[in-house]
Chains A and B, each alone.
Chain A
């Protein structure tokens, strides 16, 4: 149900009350609706984060990715189908997300972080699959004075932390050592992206205790979380 209220010469479309009925006591829907989030990379982590934040009703989501859908993405990159192979991820992602929640403004940008022009956003979510782009993304966020929610996965393990100008940075806990084409499990990706999205929602609502200077590690194989104080 969409409520439309007329104020003299203007028409304001109000937030869909019914869609968000089951979260209205948890978050300020106005705050989420006024927010803009940048998701860098719409692969495994980015696809799940994009879905969670689209469903939650973020006002504007900017998606950045230069890649096309490949068959080997389909074990974990939840936004894509076999028929999408060879097509640019950002455009497919934006189309699917719009189907999930038509109220969200989606801005797909085909390119790499650091190379495409990015509009003003409130927070950056890591949906990347390599360290170099992560350091570039962190640098982008810090230069803009906005937070960056780091996430990474490999095998049965994932990690997540919340970085801003006052916290430890990637270089303080992440050696620049890369494992080529690591094995990645959809359940781990979904778990880490869920935590990243929750951090975004909390931040935008000024709620709770953010993962600042706390690296949360999830190990699905032993079903354990460990928190490392940075």
Chain B
């Protein structure tokens, strides 16, 4: 399936783009999707990545959807 990914915060800077489309297998879980992403972008290899699917907070066991946003957890102030 084709998914659209939006990158936020330092992830967009690290990989050099705000969004892209990516082909992933049907029924891919968030955990599997993150493995694909970390393989594609080595700069994300050691990052903790938060994911929302269709605007909803997603956990690792959730199935991926076609509108994905990824962002880092942040704690500055």
Chain A interfacial positions (CB closer than 8 Å to B): 41, 43-46, 126-131, 134, 151-159, 172-175, 177-179, 182-184, 189, 215, 217, 219, 221-222, 224, 226-230
Q: For chain B, which range describes its interface: under 10, 10 to 19, 20 to 34, or 35 or more residues?
A: 20 to 34
Residues of B within 8 A of A228 (CB): 52, 55-57, 69
Are B76 and A222 touching (Cβ within 8 A)? no
Chain B interfacial positions (CB closer than 8 Å to A): 6, 8-10, 12-13, 18, 48, 50, 52, 55-57, 69, 71-77
Residues of B within 8 A of A172 (CB): 57
Residues of B within 8 A of A45 (CB): 77
CB-based nearest B residue for A177: B48
Shortest Cβ distance from residue B60 to the other chain A in the assembled complex, whole angstroms: 11
- If A177-B48, A228-B52, A228-B69 touch, whether A153 touches B57 (CB-CB below 8 Å) is no
Residues of A within 8 A of B69 (CB): 217, 226, 228
A-side interface mostly: mixed
Are B12 and A154 touching (Cβ within 8 A)? no
Are B76 and A217 touching (Cβ within 8 A)? no
Are A129 and B57 touching (Cβ within 8 A)? no
- If A219-B9, A229-B55 touch, whether A44 touches B48 (CB-CB below 8 Å) is no
Beyond contacts A156-B13, A157-B8, A224-B18: 8 other A-B pairs, Cβ-Cβ < 8 A, are A129-B76, A129-B77, A151-B77, A173-B57, A184-B76, A189-B77, A217-B71, A221-B18
Are B57 and A222 touching (Cβ within 8 A)? no
Are A226 and B8 touching (Cβ within 8 A)? yes
Residues of B within 8 A of A177 (CB): 48, 73
Are A155 and B75 touching (Cβ within 8 A)? no
9 tightest CB-CB pairs across the interface, nearest first? A157-B9, A129-B77, A154-B74, A182-B76, A228-B52, A45-B77, A154-B76, A222-B18, A229-B56
